[in-house]
Chain A
């Protein structure tokens, strides 16, 4: 087992699937000669040629729509949006075509759309968003948000072979910052199974993506105060692991939901509502949400820092719950 960055794990997972399955190809803007804006596909075109690592025109609609057609013809396309924000240009092709084709016409659409998402580096309003909840709301789509290098590889391979359209949110701020052991062999991580990132008894902290690390730092800070926080990394939002959340809440009696996406209508609302509906009797405090405020993602570093939930925000939220 080797230690790899989150980015390397994604790249290795993709490369190994392309080596073992000729149906898999990658298409996106600057993914070929340039190796991708974040270099996830560096060296791929030399290895697989220009018809399996396809430099597309600046056409998100043609990229995702094209993947849909190729998938229906038996391929296993992987589309790269240069930034997750640009998926707005391909909304119709995910939501109108790919998401509904199986239900209404019986036609499966096995595509994977890779979405470099998230903020933390002054990307501004159009290079920092976390639009996962918009898609988790759409029946027919699957939504994946890995936090660790090992999950990044295993969930990507699972996504490629899932018979449905899968949105794979890879958090840009984790690309080179997070390193961990990644098994060398091929493996998959099933959708809908949360990972217990940290065991604890007093408060359940439910999160995903880059916020797992913010949560972890906050939990460590509370350890000294004798508050034991259990962190659940959901890993996938559609489907999501309700049972794991309810199990954890039954144990701790308190829940905090944390996400980097904005608050209103964010996926945290669904989790909080589910806990309120199904675990009300277990609760010793109201479910608390911590999320970005309802604004576009601001550019300037202090504004962006105030926008993205920080360790101290989570610490404050956890303390409030602990004292309730």
Chain B
């Protein structure tokens, strides 16, 4: 039996206004979602052109979840997004050309070629770069929240994990510690139903992962991860609750990973009907329809946004392609931090 609350869809423009978004914000969300998908689609092309070394991962189907959560973050909040959460980087303001440079291993990527794909973050935007060991960032985010609590700052840490990562011990230790100390942290489970080829029933035996929150002493909520406004509303409530000392929340965003684990994987193990069913709930299409039905979204506005995104993508790919490969002299750089490295916003 489910324990966690199941979130309702957002019904009207009035309701979402009360949750803090005006019409301009709503159009901004659409732009961010288009940009998120566009970056990953362009990445695919670059991969096929042989310009992206290694593998390539996307978050297709997760655009609403990632953009919705990030839209609810405050400017001083921090987060540890994963490889399905490109939308978080976009909302926080990373320059798209740097993402392409990152994909291609160029000197101007956020990691300067030291790491690949979405293993990146701009700490000036309040983001911390993920590692491949997926739930490892949960305890790190809990530690950020601990720092906020020690210093009595009204800031919140957000951290992402998949339903696959939910099976690992870091997830438990992070949530348990956060629950014990009522730390200002929001846990977001991107439940896209497939951990590489492993389906949910081989990862966990409860009905919803959000049900586990109760056992850690905080609230859990399941939200349709293809509904950007519902995700936003739930994230906003959880973040503000954490900010005011109400402790953590676990938000489970239910989606389907619409592509393989990575570009090499044809996802043949996912039933075809499943893809067909979830394709009808495409996050972008769904939000576009909502805007048309509830916010008088016009063809002109849509054309303008699409044109804007297309231009950004074209310019970004070109600029990234002009970025050089890393200088071999940088191979040994930065293994150890120097005192000057502490001259960052967080350490001042």
How far is it, in angstroms, between the C-alpha of A105 and the C-alpha of B335 when the chains are bound?
Answer: 11
What residues of chain A have their CB less than 8 Å away from a CB belonging to chain B?
25, 51-52, 54, 56-57, 59, 61-62, 64-75, 77, 92-93, 96-97, 100-110, 139-140, 142, 163-164
Most buried by B among A51, A73, A142, A163: A73
Bound: A101/B344 CA distance, A: 14
Q: How many Å from the CB of A154 to the closest CB on chain B?
A: 18
With both beta carbons as reference points, the residue of chain A lying nearest to B339 in the complex is identified as A163
The count of residues in chain B whose C-beta lies closer than 8 Å to any C-beta of chain A is: 51
In-complex Cβ contact of B348 among A54, A69, A74, A101 (8 A): A74
CB < 8 Å neighbour of A69 from B110, B146, B336, B341: B146
Q: What string of 1s and 0s marks CB contacts (under 8 Å) between B329-348 and chain A?
A: 00001111111011010111
Contacts of B137 in A (CB 8 A): 97
Taking the closest CB of chain B, its distance from the CB of A236, in whole angstroms, is 13
B binding-site residues for A, Cβ under 8 Å: 78, 110-112, 114-115, 119-121, 123, 128-129, 131-133, 136-150, 157, 169-170, 173-174, 176-177, 180, 333-339, 341-342, 344, 346-348
**Are the C-beta atoms of B123 and A106 separated by less than 8 Å?**
yes
A59 touches B147 (CB 8 A): no
Q: Cα distance A308–B137 when bound, in Å?
A: 39
- Mind listing 29 A-B residue pairs with CB under 8 Å? A51-B149, A52-B150, A59-B176, A61-B169, A61-B173, A62-B139, A65-B170, A66-B142, A66-B177, A68-B139, A68-B143, A69-B139, A69-B140, A70-B147, A74-B147, A92-B133, A93-B136, A93-B139, A97-B131, A97-B133, A97-B137, A104-B115, A105-B121, A105-B123, A106-B112, A108-B344, A109-B337, A110-B337, A140-B335
Q: Contact between A66 and B341 (Cβ–Cβ < 8 Å)?
A: no
Give chain B nearest CB distance to A166 CB in angstroms: 11
Q: How far is the CB of A57 from chain B (nearest CB, A)?
A: 6
Partner of B337, one of A77, A92, A96, A164: A164
Instruction: Check if B111 sits within 8 Å of A104, measured CB to CB.
Output: yes
Check B342–A105 contact: CB distance below 8 A: no
**Chain A residues whose CB sits within 8 angstroms of the CB of B180 once the complex forms:** 57
Docked CA distance A64–B142 (Å): 11
- Give the distance in Å from the alpha carbon of A39 to the alpha carbon of B42 in the complex: 58
Q: Is the CB of A65 within 8 A of B136?
A: yes
Residues in A with CB closer than 8 Å to B146 are 54, 66, 69-70
Complex contact B140–A68 (CB within 8 A): yes
> In the complex, what distance in Å separates the CA atom of A105 from the CA atom of B125?
13
Question: Is A65 in contact with B143, judged by CB distance below 8 angstroms?
Answer: yes
Cross-chain contact A103 with B335 (CB below 8 angstroms)? yes
B136 touches A72 (CB 8 A): no
Given contacts A57-B177, A62-B139, A62-B177, contact A73 B144 (CB under 8 A): yes
Whether B337 pairs with A59 at a CB distance below 8 angstroms is no
Give the CA-CA distance A107 to B338 in the complex, in Å.
Answer: 11
Query: A102–B337 contact, CB under 8 A?
Result: yes
Name the CB-closest residue of B to A59: B173
CA–CA, A106 and B123, complex, Å? 9
Chain A residues within an 8 Å CB radius of B339: 163
Given contacts A62-B173, A64-B139, A69-B128, 20 further A-B contacts (CB under 8 A): A57-B177, A61-B139, A62-B170, A66-B140, A69-B143, A72-B123, A72-B346, A73-B144, A74-B147, A92-B170, A96-B133, A97-B131, A97-B140, A102-B335, A103-B334, A105-B111, A106-B123, A108-B337, A163-B339, A164-B336
B111 neighbours in A (Cβ, 8 Å): 104-106
| Least Cβ–Cβ distance between A165 and chain B, in angstroms | 9
B335 with A62: CB separation less than 8 A: no
